[in-house]
Amino acid sequence: MRSLVVIAALFAAADCGGKTAPAPETPAGAPHAEAKFLVGFSNSSLNHPWRVAINDAIVREAMKYPDIRLVTTEAKEKSDKQIADIEDLIDFTVLSYDPFEGINENVAEARVEGIEASWVYTGSQWQARVEAIYQDPRDRADDSRLLRRAQESLTVGLTRAFGPVLFGLDVLATGDRKDFGLPQDVTLDGYVLADLTAQWRVTPSLSLIARVENLLDQDYELADTYNTADRGLYVSMRYAPRAANRGR
């Protein structure tokens, strides 16, 4: 079966000409020979705990699926490493309109240029972060905009601690994106997502967590005609005995 490649990138870059050496790769999940899907995640840096947490969460999730191989990279905040000449991105090619049939094919060569700006604050009770990204994802074969990729996004995160209780609010605003459609490509509207989290640290090793996702109950699409989740409430418990041992 053809391997599919998906690239997610957080970057700060401008095209300086020429190519640079890729960042070191960290593979996870299924061995290369057994994987049906190859997922790539590029992070601009791992210099902050929330970036490390995101990276670790992606790795843990990939390990759950025996047919997925994950490759993560880090640019170490060097813009010359952020010129993303990414090969083998997924594209959809129509074979027939009646009946409608098509296949996933690989884009021969793609380029994602952009810039990222971020600000982080850490205090005794408050934590805040703001991140803005602008990118220009292009298929280098015909200079068309890559499908399903927004050009701009803004992420805001805010947390407040009240003793053992932590409240958090995360907001993501993203611009529109193109997607495949008939008889021509369609434009998917931008959207704003907000998630609210409450965490109670009952003991050093036990935490109770409640999370409301899509707090504003936004109706949005990441791919044309594919639904996304409405507002949802999720409750979980986290038990980490090692955390209690570290507190001794």
Residues facing 8 on adjacent strands:
41
pLDDT band at 24 (very low <50, low <70, confident <90, very high): very low
Average pLDDT on 144-163 reads: 89
In a 13 Å sphere around the CA of 158, the CA atoms on its Cβ side amount to: 5
Task: For 181-217, write each residue's pLDDT tens digit.
Answer: 777 888 999 999 999 999 999 998 899 999 999 999 9
Q: Two tokens at 77?
A: 């905040």
Measured between alpha carbons, how far is 79 from 20 in angstroms, rounded to an integer? 10
Measured between alpha carbons, how far is 4 from 109 in angstroms, rounded to an integer? 14
Q: Are strands 37-43 and 68-74 parallel, antiparallel or unpaired?
A: parallel
Contact (CB, 8 A) for 75 and 41: no
Task: For 28-46, write each residue's pLDDT tens digit.
Answer: 554 545 566 667 777 667 7
Q: What are phi and psi of 244, to 5 degrees?
A: -65, -40
Query: Which has more confidence, 90 or 217?
Result: 217
pLDDT band at 54 (very low <50, low <70, confident <90, very high): confident
pLDDT for res 213: 92
pLDDT for res 97: 53
Average pLDDT on 166-178 reads: 93
Is residue 60 packed enough to be buried (19+ CB in 10 Å), middle (13-18) or exposed (0-12)?
Answer: exposed
Contact (CB, 8 A) for 148 and 140: no
Residue 7 pLDDT more than 50? no
pLDDT for res 32: 47
What residue spans define the domains of the chain? 1-112, 147-248
Which is nearest to 173 in space by CA: 131, 223, 234, 225?
A: 131
Average pLDDT on 61-65 reads: 80
Neighbours of 68 (CB within 10 A): 20
H helices present in 93-178, as ranges = none
pLDDT band at 243 (very low <50, low <70, confident <90, very high): low
Contact (CB, 8 A) for 197 and 210: yes
Predicted model pTM: 0.60
Query: Which has more confidence, 213 or 148?
Result: 213
Contact (CB, 8 A) for 40 and 23: no
Query: Which has more confidence, 138 or 91?
Result: 138
pLDDT band at 136 (very low <50, low <70, confident <90, very high): confident
Measured between alpha carbons, how far is 71 from 185 in angstroms, rounded to an integer? 30
pLDDT for res 146: 78
Residue 50 pLDDT more than 90? no
Task: For 96-131, write each residue's pLDDT tens digit.
Answer: 656 656 655 556 566 677 788 889 999 999 999 999
